[in-house]
Amino acid sequence: MPLSDALLQDIQDARAHSMPTLRATAPALEALLYTPFPCLDHGFVRVVDYMGDDDAVVQSARVSYGRGTKASRTDRGLIRYLMRHRHTTPFEMCELKLHVKLPIFVARQWIRHRTANVNEISARYSVLDREFYLPRPEDIATQSKDNKQGRGEALSPEQTEDVLAALREDAERAFSRYEGLLEEQSLARELARIGLPLSAYTQWYWKVDLHNLLHFLSLRLDPHAQLEIRVYAEAIAQAVKAWVPLSWEAFEDYRLGGVALSAQGLDVVRRLLRGEAVGQEQSGLAPREWRELMDLLERDETNP
Amino acid sequence: MPLSDALLQDIQDARAHSMPTLRATAPALEALLYTPFPCLDHGFVRVVDYMGDDDAVVQSARVSYGRGTKASRTDRGLIRYLMRHRHTTPFEMCELKLHVKLPIFVARQWIRHRTANVNEISARYSVLDREFYLPRPEDIATQSKDNKQGRGEALSPEQTEDVLAALREDAERAFSRYEGLLEEQSLARELARIGLPLSAYTQWYWKVDLHNLLHFLSLRLDPHAQLEIRVYAEAIAQAVKAWVPLSWEAFEDYRLGGVALSAQGLDVVRRLLRGEAVGQEQSGLAPREWRELMDLLERDETNP
Amino acid sequence: MPLSDALLQDIQDARAHSMPTLRATAPALEALLYTPFPCLDHGFVRVVDYMGDDDAVVQSARVSYGRGTKASRTDRGLIRYLMRHRHTTPFEMCELKLHVKLPIFVARQWIRHRTANVNEISARYSVLDREFYLPRPEDIATQSKDNKQGRGEALSPEQTEDVLAALREDAERAFSRYEGLLEEQSLARELARIGLPLSAYTQWYWKVDLHNLLHFLSLRLDPHAQLEIRVYAEAIAQAVKAWVPLSWEAFEDYRLGGVALSAQGLDVVRRLLRGEAVGQEQSGLAPREWRELMDLLERDETNP
Amino acid sequence: MPLSDALLQDIQDARAHSMPTLRATAPALEALLYTPFPCLDHGFVRVVDYMGDDDAVVQSARVSYGRGTKASRTDRGLIRYLMRHRHTTPFEMCELKLHVKLPIFVARQWIRHRTANVNEISARYSVLDREFYLPRPEDIATQSKDNKQGRGEALSPEQTEDVLAALREDAERAFSRYEGLLEEQSLARELARIGLPLSAYTQWYWKVDLHNLLHFLSLRLDPHAQLEIRVYAEAIAQAVKAWVPLSWEAFEDYRLGGVALSAQGLDVVRRLLRGEAVGQEQSGLAPREWRELMDLLERDETNP
């Protein structure tokens, strides 16, 4: 990820000027501020501003729940209580602003999270840089057989080479055409860009509160999320962990590592714990849900 | 816009089955229901459901403003009053659901309107059809000199021909590559699609309330909106006019045909009406704002 | 709940006029349309419009997931899959509009659900009716000892009588004062109302999509929700069940009857199923979480 | 506005600890941070955190509009351009967090602005302080004759005295009852509070982005807004002016001091400027709109 000289200069300038503030401050995030986390071949995500910290979550919760809360719970205990019981509004009191460079097909998944603020570079105003995403060889795979939306086995090295060459050649050609249409035909930018591939990089500022950011991460850190957006989610997760370590810990325990049981699933667990022999047919669960439950409970599904 | 046989069959089926309902019903919109308005070369927009009508706006307003309202105003007068004074919540009480087929670069502009519900076809699950947008020859133009985001003069017929041929050739090649990667290499769909152009068509269901729809239309019917999204906005406008004619009329009078004056602009108008000679320098307006104001007032800006 | 003559007339009129429509129609909800479900002593909730049905959820999901979905899953199976995996956007494609009469303290809890449209009667424009909420004797209770936000034991019949008499007397006096200030002093309505109690009834139209409605219900049907808002949630639940029975069934199985396990909770379950003896101290759970988990699993917590 | 000792201590502590930060910092707002602006008799609003400044607006806009923007416009010019053309997203990149103490009837108007985050003190968890709003004598007035939602003439000093005495007596009684029910009957807090008046004070943390805050202010600074919420809007306006002076200036010029003309209104202005004699009947405007337009243009409506 070679950064442009202009961006490097901006980062250096921004990190050179410290100011005193009376606001809540997160030193571990200050240490990361403005610095890009590289993502994919040309992308990055960097924190450009934040508001609040773990204390701000606690403080807002204590407004709601009143005086008694202070005595009876530590901050960590309160944050865990809020996360466990999905009392989400105190987590909305923190805010993060990111600068992201990402392929357009990733941007299209990302933008579906509506509760956020966005300013994206406009290809009607600006000429896009000649930058497009190519997967690493190890990330190229066949369509999964079980998972309608995922990747399956690796291709052979030769096939991988062919796929990469094809993607590269086409993207290069599309960018050359784009530049030619702009320069030789003076074609309007808003038209010239329609032939660019979905792998072209775009950039945006994206601002979101902590509750909605954690929701974004719970979906985009999931193994079913497309690899290319997961890479960004993992980078953001590092920043969040530095920023609000208690909230992050609670999020890991109750969301990322937690699971949901259906009414029928809970009933199966209770019966198994009582020592009953329960199979799929007695469970009230469809075969697929039964397998998912047995996996979850780490039981041999054929001989539970 | 040749529709697929499956869609034609769906439309025919949907239009064949009428049901009785006690809900507010808009007969002029029923007549258009499910039927596509063609947009661009392969796109369309069609209304697939709606809730409410002009009466529903009035009814909601009367809940807020109480009994007295009924006697003192006609429905039309009340709707105009609400629109004039930006009392927007009664317009949120109507809802429209559209099925839209549109190029990806148009979808990317559209999705920026966040207060709406969306279900888009996923290229991780489905193989996209071989359909991409090519402008009509008369819509191909150079970059505007004054307007950083717009189109200027037409290209010569030869240049136009060249541009179209280039766009067509590249899009054809990209789709052939896409199909080849899927069929020959069994490449995962989520990867194969990254080389498709922004002109490729996608589809979605989009549901929005009338207030937010009118806001969308006020931005996307504007001459500064990109032509390709304006085409969709114009088709939707026809449906809205059939659906809620009183709200539409008020929207035309107070939004589309209305203008905003700044504090300084209002001061200029007052002074001109009193017979004062006012020029840009005495106006407190920047030169560009002065020109915009003179245009608005239909005055010769050099000799006002 | 004696309804005003005007409202009874409106309901009769609205139910008398059936129109043909090509839209998705839910006959079981049509049968309930406009008719109030009584709530508390003077309140009600009634459905005044709706958009979509279970089929609309399925149809939107199939736009996203494409052709293959149709063959492989029944509608019911697909809806259950969507609910289980929290694919929420297809449920946003249905919309419900309610007319609600409710005490102001209930309205203040309700309005915290922001993703909805509201038109409330304004006490600046209208004079409020002399109607206020009084609990039933059996709903009057002491502050709970364990639950900082809930009710505990019943009061004695005498105390209950005293409480009711006090609440009634004060509310009557406040309304008399309100009427006096309006009539004798001609005081502005927006000022006269500031002495009214939080038990006074207000009314609003409230429109929401099915996903957000189910989220509202999951919070407001919960035993920890205040009884007075639960009464409304239960009435709405009846309407939703009539409207979208498959979605409702899935909601009951995966949300209302389902539970969340933390990472540590799941670990405890797995160890218990393998036959390990696990107590709170070995569990990694705080004592309160341990008790909650044992309750959930229907195990004797002192001797698990 | 006597502040509680606990709050005074919190403010003193918060203002005592400065930290270095690399974030955008607004020194004029730092000077105001945490300190309450008194509002009404017992209320206040104070800024407890902020994100961004005028530069952050500019920076986000330049991401969207690209390189060229930098050369051609000053920051002030760009901010005015954005405000004039309602390019609202860059203003969403700043965020303000307020702590507000306010009467419940004001809170009910305020909460209608949905695009914000809120944590309110809960009267289910906490016992509310004995504090309620009483208008100043000069703010007590009759119902307006022309304005269905406003105040008209002052009452006589005797009447004013009577009204105040009545409001005070009733509120005192309601709070005494509340305290009695809690202490003597141990009534559940969530029930005891239902007799409290709408003039009782509540508190919340409220967090909002600059675009939505300006929209809130445009509605709540308006002379038609109820006086009691206008007082809060004016206090917030002072904070915003210190925080983002360029954005505030543009907001004053294009929103607060600006006006909207309808299509017909614009036509009247053009005709008057050409020297035509235009009266209401030739204008296409309803009588009320004609009067509003003549007022706006500062023309004698009877002899324009």
Average pLDDT over residues A285-302: 87
Statement: residue B283 has pLDDT above 60: yes
The DSSP bridge pattern shows strands B141-143 and B151-154 to be: antiparallel
- For residue A90, the 8-state DSSP code is G
- Residues of D in Cβ contact (< 8 Å) with A15: 22
Q: Which helix (H) or strand (E) is B218 found in, with range?
A: helix B210-220
Query: For residue B64, what pLDDT is reported?
Result: 76
Read off the tokens for A202. Answer: 């775009």
Statement: residue B6 has pLDDT above 90: no
Q: C222-257, pLDDT tens digit by residue? A: 999 999 999 999 999 999 999 999 999 999 999 999
Chain mean pLDDT for chain C: 93
Which one of A190, A199, A224, A231 makes the best mutation probe of the B interface by having the most chain B beta carbons within 10 Å? A190
Statement: residue C66 has pLDDT above 80: no
Q: How confident is the model at residue B300 (pLDDT cuts 50, 70, 90)?
A: confident
Query: For residue A42, what pLDDT is reported?
Result: 97
Statement: residue C301 has pLDDT above 80: no
Q: How far is D289 from chain A (nearest CA, A)?
A: 37
Q: What ipTM does the predicted assembly reach?
A: 0.94
N- to C-terminal Cα distance for chain C?
Answer: 50
Angle at D15 between CA D9 and CA D17, to 5 degrees: 110
Map out the domains of chain C as residue ranges.
5-133+199-256, 263-297
Are the C-beta atoms of residues A96 and A191 closer than 8 Å to each other?
A: no
Statement: residue B147 has pLDDT above 70: yes
Q: Catalytic site residue D62? A: no
Statement: residue D66 has pLDDT above 80: no
Statement: residue C195 has pLDDT above 60: yes
Statement: residue D34 has pLDDT above 60: yes
Of D220, D230, D271, D288, the catalytic one is D220
- Give all strands (DSSP E) within chain C, no chain letters: 19-21, 37-39, 43-51, 95-103, 117-120, 141-143, 151-154, 201-209, 259-261
Q: How confident is the model at residue C6 (pLDDT cuts 50, 70, 90)?
A: confident
Say yes or no for a CB contact (<8 Å) between B262 and D84.
yes
- For residue D137, the 8-state DSSP code is G
Query: For residue B4, what pLDDT is reported?
Result: 86
Q: D258-268, pLDDT tens digit by residue? A: 999 999 999 99
Statement: residue B72 has pLDDT above 80: no
Chain D's closest residue to C105, CA to CA, is: D194
Q: A159-177, pLDDT tens digit by residue? A: 999 999 999 999 999 999 9
Exposure pattern of C180-214 as b/e (b: 16+ CB <10 Å)? ebbeebbbbbbbbbbbbbbbbbbbbbbbbbbbbbb
Say yes or no for a CB contact (<8 Å) between A263 and C257.
yes
Q: How confident is the model at residue D63 (pLDDT cuts 50, 70, 90)?
A: confident
Q: How confident is the model at residue B74 (pLDDT cuts 50, 70, 90)?
A: confident
Of the candidates C26, C191, C174, the residue with the CA atom closest to the CA atom of residue C123: C191
Which one of D191, D196, D226 makes the best mutation probe of the C interface by having the most chain C beta carbons within 10 Å? D191
Q: How far is C134 from chain B (nearest CA, A)?
A: 24
Query: For residue A304, what pLDDT is reported?
Result: 44
Q: How far is A242 from chain B (nearest CA, A)?
A: 30
CA distances from A275 to A123, A272, B124, D258 (A): 64, 5, 43, 75
3-class secondary-structure state, position A236: helix
Query: For residue C304, what pLDDT is reported?
Result: 44
Read off the tokens for B28. Answer: 């002029």
Q: C106-151, pLDDT tens digit by residue? A: 999 999 999 999 999 999 999 999 999 999 999 999 988 877 778 8
Architecture of the domain whose range is C5-133+199-256: 2-Layer Sandwich (3.30)
Which one of B42, B187, B219, B229 makes the best mutation probe of the A interface by having the most chain A beta carbons within 10 Å? B187
Rounded-to-integer distance, Cα B92 and Cα B115, Å: 11
Query: For residue B66, what pLDDT is reported?
Result: 64
Statement: residue A209 has pLDDT above 80: yes
Average pLDDT over residues B82-111: 97
Query: For residue C133, what pLDDT is reported?
Result: 98
Exposure pattern of A26-47 as b/e (b: 16+ CB <10 Å)? beebbebbbebbbbbebbbbbb
Rounded-to-integer distance, Cα C125 and Cα B78, Å: 15
Q: A39-74, pLDDT tens digit by residue? A: 999 999 999 999 999 999 999 998 877 655 555 578
Chain A's closest residue to B198, CA to CA, is: A194
Chain mean pLDDT for chain D: 93
Return the minimum-mean-pLDDT range out of A57-66, C80-89, D129-138. A57-66
Read off the tokens for A170. Answer: 């086409």
Please, which residues 105-164 of chain C have a Cβ atom closer than 8 Å to chain B? 117-122, 125-127
Neighbours, chain D (3 or more CB pairs < 8 A): A, B, C
Statement: residue A290 has pLDDT above 70: yes
Query: For residue B304, what pLDDT is reported?
Result: 44
Chain A's closest residue to C89, CA to CA, is: A112
Residues C14-17: contacts with CB under 8 Å, at least 24 apart: C14/B22, C14/C48, C15/B22, C17/B22
Say yes or no for a CB contact (<8 Å) between B125 and A162.
no
Interface size between C and D, measured as CB pairs under 8 A? 154
